[in-house]
Chain A
Amino acid sequence: MVWYATRQLLLVIPTLAGVAVAVFFLIRVMPGDVVVVKLRADGAAVSEETIQAERKRLGLDKPLYEQFAEYMLGLPRLDLGKSLWTGEPVIKEIVLRMPVSFQIALMAGIIAVLIAIPLGTISALYRDTWIDHAVRVVAVSGLAIPSFWLGMLIILGLLSLFNWLPKIGYVPLWEDPIANLSVTIWPAASVGYRYAAVATRMMRSSLLEVMREDYIRTARAKGVWTRLIMRRHALRNALLPVVTVIGLEFAFLIGGLVVTEQVFNINGIGKLFVDATARGDFNLIQGLVLLIATIFVLVNLLVDLIYGWLDPRIRLR
């Protein structure tokens, strides 16, 4: 297992290097100049001379190969450069926003697991009964309703019922759990619902498939209790694809909270990504793409390791 994990971790390096090269060049195809956006934001008559001086100060006048070399040489030292918008190190900008996005994604994941596994299991066990239909309606609704729209409904609900909205700003969970949860629970619920819907559907179909396997039929023929069959044989096997879905959705959520963060005024990675793209802040976009790629790779690795734990045959192979 250790060797497997080490090998997977080493594979991360060329993967990320490939991503870094691709993103550096692709992003420069994008039209738009961060300096023009910054200096002419409110329509000011800023001279071309001032614009060029600022481009020079930011190093945007250097040849592309030079910019590329600086960027690649910085990566091993985790130096992603400075934001072209704020002048702050990219790492600092990301680290500031990471905790809230990570927490919301984690909470959404927990909500998804807590909802999806029992609901998917019940739905499979009571297949084609009114219970199954009800669960499927809930799951399909979750897939059909965009998270940001649900977020807007939540905000409208809070305003209509309580004339209240959570405070703006992030307080770490360990400093003030109530203040923290009052801010994060709403976006987590709005994205968690969709997340749960995907996992519920997967859980149901996976469990139905497993329940048709020979070893389940054999266990039944031997008179083993249904509950025991479920716990010992069916659930564990049915969880394999569900784990994949949960893992990939989690990685997606870190960078995919784009609209939901805007709806709830959450200062997270998604909002940062939108702002960086709108401003043409190349350095920040590069850093964020690398971060998301890293998370995808690491979550995939984690999913592989959980596979090994759930199904020992995978470890042996």
Chain B
Amino acid sequence: MAGFGQGPIMKRLAGAVMGCAALMVATSLAHAQQPKHGGTLNFAVVAEPPNYDCHASTTFALIHPIAPHYSLLVKFDGEGYPKVIPDLAESWTVAPDGMTLTFKLKGPVQFHDGSPLTSADVKASYERIINPPPGVVSIRRSYYADLAVEAPDPATVIFKLRNPMAGVLEALASPFNCIYSAAKLKVNPRYPETEIMGSGPFTLLAHVRGTSWEGRRFAGYFEEGKPYLDGYKAFFVKSNGVVPGILGGQFDAEFRGRNPSEKAQLLAKMKDNLAVFESSWVNNLMIVFNTKRKPFDDVRVRQALSLAIDRWGGSEALAKISVLKYVGGVMRPGYAMALPEEELVTLPGFSKDIAKSREEAKTLLEEAGASGLQFKLLNRNIAEPYTPGGIYSIDQWRRIGVTATHEQLETKLYQDRVAAGDFDVAVEFQADFMDDPTAQFSKFLTKNASPSGYSGHADIKLDDMYDRQRRSIDPAERTRIVREMERYALVQAYNVPLLWWQRSIVNHKKIKGWYMTPSHYLWQDLSTVWLDQ
């Protein structure tokens, strides 16, 4: 049996406790220090956004360089994720029926051009997201479809829900919901694509396409005394340029995450000058079975393939070479609504007794007439973590007599094939800015309910449960539905999570006031960041 027993769990728990303690000590030390003004933060971003429009984007490549230019209505707390804290909002109230949220705005707040920011700007920005004018791309339009926005006076914004919506406050804290100028949107609704004009802590100094992005301190920022930095410069580099770049002094940070090998390289060379932050990541790799193709339309085959994978052993082995680390179901392990581990291990593919699971898998394959199954595993040709994830799965399937051929393609070719349903089994991923089930379950639904329901199943029971959890504003009731849905999804196994990722950030230790969250999309406005130099 390759799974781990009581010893390693205790070691892990002890490690986690020590890690948390170390993090708390580091955090309290950071608090004890008085922030210093000045300096420029240089950091790397391993991709570049196509344009500057937050509402049209889903990528960290936009958030890391551009978030410092914009304010949000509310945002996730960097120190206390998943708590939502004010940004432009000073306070808010939620009606007892949960159908109306009233926000009072801070004042005075000004845009980078000196014009005042009022509720009209918040309203215009959200209307651009909910009902984009022709030519404007709003990616999360359907997510906010139940919202209507009102601005009864310059300091008040009211969101009225047409239907109950759980997690609405968290949805409003999306880092992509940048607040734009209503006046400028009126002239040109597409101005955010090519122009930066927000109310965030930094103004745009220069963007040299393909090379760098530079921001300068905004003296009129509404939080007094912030930001602490004079400016920042983001360098667009390839992922393999991050370690040499930090070692060679080209930049001091990268906020997405590094794998164990890169972390080790950095620590080996400049341990005394680095600070390491680690957490589980709101990202996972999952196996998607194309239920339109035989024999993957048979639940016994899907379950067998999930049962064959030793996730607990894989967690130990893969964490040494990749970001794949945590065993979990549809919800991130440790998140309040996730299935407890003692329940998770009773579901197909999550047991710690891998020998027994594999025997069961072989029996299921035999019953389904799929012994000696052969298929192609479609994957991206990206080394981290797709290649190790794919290779590990193939090896696990080999142990029950299943032969999978690894077909790794460029991302654009992979996406075409998956979207067209032209695959047997695929390695897909889930990533979002928060743990909310409405975001996390999107790939588990039917194609009718979600454009990324790639498995092609027609099981509307999942869609129904999804809708019920989305409408349930009682947290206990919602947790109950989410867990029921998670159990059902893992038993039906249209998609099965492989492993959740670990986020490791290795930055120069002079960087203070940056807080680690489980999402690489959050806490990137740099308003609290300062340099201890």
Q: Which A residues contact B (CB, under 8 angstroms)?
A: 31-34, 36-48, 50, 53-54, 57, 85-88, 93, 96-97, 155, 158-159, 163-165, 167-170, 262, 265, 267, 271-272, 275, 278-280
Contacts and interface: CB of A to CB of B under 8 A. Distances in A.
A48 B451 contact: yes
A293 B135 CA distance: 35
Contacts of B411: 37, 278
Contact of B419 (A36, A87, A271, A278): A36
Nearest to B447: A48
A85 to B, nearest CB: 5
A48 B419 CA distance: 10
B210 A168 contact: no
Contacts of A163: 247-249
B210 to A, nearest CB: 4
B211 A42 contact: no
26 contacts: A32-B415, A38-B50, A41-B61, A42-B58, A42-B431, A43-B431, A43-B452, A45-B442, A45-B443, A46-B58, A47-B141, A50-B139, A53-B137, A54-B137, A57-B135, A86-B209, A93-B209, A159-B248, A164-B248, A167-B250, A168-B211, A169-B211, A169-B235, A170-B211, A267-B211, A275-B210
Given A47-B451, A87-B194, A164-B248, A32 B141 contact: no
Given A42-B431, A48-B451, 14 more contacts: A31-B416, A40-B452, A44-B58, A46-B452, A54-B137, A57-B135, A87-B194, A96-B210, A165-B245, A168-B235, A169-B211, A265-B245, A271-B210, A279-B412
Nearest to A40: B415
Interface of B is mostly: mixed
A46 B451 contact: yes
B413 interface: yes
Contact of B412 (A37, A54, A97, A165): A37
Contact of A265 (B237, B416, B450): B237
Interface string B235-260: 10110010011011111000000000
Interface string B432-463: 00000000001100000011100000000000
Q: What 6 A-B pairs come out closest when comparing CB atoms?
A: A165-B248, A32-B412, A44-B58, A267-B210, A45-B452, A45-B442
Contacts of B431: 42-43
Interface residues of B, number: 48
Contacts of A168: 211-212, 235, 237, 245, 250-251
Q: Which of B235, B248, B431, B442 has the most CB of A within 10 A?
A: B248
A86 B442 CA distance: 28
B60 interface: yes
Contact of A37 (B211, B415, B450): B415
Contact of B450 (A40, A45, A53): A45
Interface in B334-359: none
A37 B380 CA distance: 13
B190 to A, nearest CB: 9
Contacts of A262: 238
B27 interface: no
Contacts of A50: 137-139, 141
B248 A39 contact: no
Contacts of B51: 86-87
B59 interface: yes
A56 to B, nearest CB: 9
A36 B47 CA distance: 16
A83 B103 CA distance: 40
Interface in B401-441: 410-413, 415-416, 419, 428-431
B91 interface: no
Nearest to A36: B415
Given A37-B412, A165-B249, A165-B250, A46 B139 contact: yes
Nearest to B449: A45
A92 B313 CA distance: 52
B60 A39 contact: no
B297 interface: no
A41 B59 CA distance: 6
Contacts of B416: 31-33, 36
A262 B237 CA distance: 8
Contacts of A167: 250
Contacts of A47: 141-142, 451
B130 to A, nearest CB: 13
Contacts of A41: 47, 58-59, 61
Nearest to B283: A43
A271 B48 CA distance: 13
B193 interface: yes
A24 B369 CA distance: 49
Contacts of B429: 43
A47 B145 CA distance: 13
Contacts of B247: 159, 163, 165
A57 to B, nearest CB: 6
B476 interface: no
Contacts of B450: 45
B280 to A, nearest CB: 18
A58 to B, nearest CB: 11
B209 A39 contact: no
A75 B413 CA distance: 29
Nearest to A93: B209
B208 interface: yes
Nearest to B63: A42
